[in-house]
Amino acid sequence: MINLYKSGGNISSVNRASVSRNSPFVRRMAGAALAVVVEKLNDFAPENLAEKWDNVGLLIEPYTKRNINKILLTNDLTENVLDEALALSSDMIISYHPPIFAPLKRITQKSWKERIVSICLENKIALYSPHTSWDSVTNGVNDWLAASLPLASAQPVIENLSNPSFGAGRICVIRGELTLGAAVDRIKAYTKLKDLKLAIAVNRNIESPIRTFAVCAGSGTNVLKGVKADLYITGEMFHHDILDANHQNIHVILLNHSNSERGYLPIFRQILLSMLKKYQGIQIDVSEQDIDPLQTY
């Protein structure tokens, strides 16, 4: 499990495969049916692992069936990422966050969400979203984030009722011992982030030893509340919950919401390539347009 994550989340290192498979003949013969890809996605992370409030699975299924040859992986499906999918002639987009969450009452051109749905349909692009099923599953987003530090063990913070090895967040024991400062350096190197936010626990400092830590990809406010650990690593937390954690001798590292998730995409690309290896000519790209909306200036 851990070796899978050694390469970290280097999106820029993912080579875009040759586009020489664009000839109509090859596109007709190669690839896999949408139903096959969806089945493989479900084999990896069953949709019933997702939280009850979530909206996961196949969200857009074009009327005209065509084989899936080109898949684009993204954390968020913004209009910039959709332009990229059109330029790449993607047949399918796998967007970690569900682009359709609140019910849509109409599909016009007035809002960006409606435009995304209409452009996908018009261009016969299927859309799948795994979201919290990927958070829960083994070798998913939280296991990727947990592997940012040397691990002796990692278990879900909130166990899945049907399978206790799956679940939300991870509570981890460090292999060996690290100072907080060394942990910060390792997390930056692993995530390839130039900066992160650190809230140091009251009465502790950058040299304090870290023996246990808890992670929650995305927003950690609910999952991490009350969890005992030396350090929390998450994307975002509310101000008062950070103060609460610091007063319970817990340091907090915030990466920004999607920066705590996005580095998993190159890992999942390898997993999906392996699951689809018997189908010829499938190209899987990781979006280069997908970035966290919050940048440091």
Q: Whats the size of the chain, residue-wise?
A: 297
Nearer to Zn ion, 154 or 255 (CB): 255
Q: How far is the CB of 192 from Zn ion (least distance, A)?
A: 18
What residues between 217 and 236 interact with Zn ion by CB under 5 A? 218
Q: Toward Zn ion, which CB reaches closer, 67 or 142?
A: 142
93, 34 contact by CB (below 8 A)? no
130: contact with Zn ion by CB under 5 A: no
Residue at 18: amino acid letter: S
Comparing CB distances to Zn ion, the nearer of 98 and 266 is 98
Smaller CB separation from Zn ion, 136 or 283: 136
Closest separation in Å from C-beta 129 to Zn ion:
11
Cβ pair 142, 166 in contact under 8 A: no
218 Rama class: left (phi>0) / alpha (psi -120 to 50) / beta: left
Q: Which is nearer to Zn ion, 131 or 251 (CB)?
A: 131
The least distance separating Zn ion from the CB of residue 108, rounded to whole angstroms, comes to 27
Where do we find the tokens 């993204």? 74
Instruction: State the nearest-atom distance from the C-beta of 218 to Zn ion, in Å.
Output: 3
How do strand 197-199 and strand 151-155 relate by DSSP bridges?
Answer: unpaired
Measured CA to CA, the distance from residue 109 to residue 224 in angstroms comes to: 39
Stretch that binds Zn ion, among 100-108, 135-143, 213-221, 271-279 (CB under 5 A): 213-221
- Residues in contact with Zn ion by CB under 5 A are 218
